[in-house]
Chain A
């Protein structure tokens, strides 16, 4: 089945560093969502984007809806140990109720 290309697959960073990850698709999306999943839990919504070019922040997290509508980016500033987890992007096509998920970026923060 189709999945989004999400990169990088994993990251090991030092506490205090900034993090960037992205998702790309061959198709145009109407909505981009970013989730964080911790072990043993369900994905938790971080940011929702609905318009090309939109830039939205949630605390230290900032996400952007790419102008081409085929990509999205998530940045985390000044990372802390509790940022550890797997980050997923998800896109929704126009005219459908389905979401397509990326394969995830596994983030580890070294104190």
Chain B
């Protein structure tokens, strides 16, 4: 029972490169989320998908795109990476209608040089 799985765990990019972060959940949750966490700060919502086929912007969406590939998978794409996007990225899933609270993956540590 893996819960929420994120890949890769670590990545180093050069400015201007593109990359897709992958996330999959096996809890049959309807909603999925991408957050970023910067040193000494809490979690800030980048994008979320309330249900399969829908995506919405969160608090800090600029420079990112997302795809809800199916109910299990939600990917985050950086089209042209910038140093300001150096962060730890967390994926989460939940099912509010079934009172299934939000569970997180272990994160992707991304450095952009």
Count CB-based A-B contacts (< 8 Å): 53
User: Do B42 and A103 have beta carbons less than 8 Å apart?
Assistant: yes
Q: Is B101 an interface residue (CB 8 A)?
A: yes
Against B, the Cβ 8 Å flags (1 = close, 0 = not) of A23-60 are: 00000000101010000011111001010000000000
The CA of A2 and the CA of B4, in the complex, are separated in Å by 26
List the A side residues contacting B48 at CB < 8 Å.
97-98
Instruction: Take A92-B96, A97-B31, A103-B42 as given contacts and tell me if A45 and B102 are in contact as well, using a CB distance cutoff of 8 Å.
Output: yes
> Is B112 positioned at the interface, with any CB of A under 8 Å from its CB?
no
Count A interface residues, CB 8 Å: 23
Q: How far is the CA of A2 from the CA of B8 in the complex (A)?
A: 29
Q: Is B69 an interface residue (CB 8 A)?
A: no
In whole angstroms, what is the CA distance A42 to B91 when docked?
9
Give the 7 A-B CB pairs with smallest separation, nearest first: A1-B59, A42-B104, A48-B101, A97-B50, A101-B42, A101-B43, A103-B42
Name 5 extra pairs, CB < 8 A, besides A97-B96, A98-B48, A98-B58: A33-B101, A35-B104, A42-B104, A45-B101, A99-B94
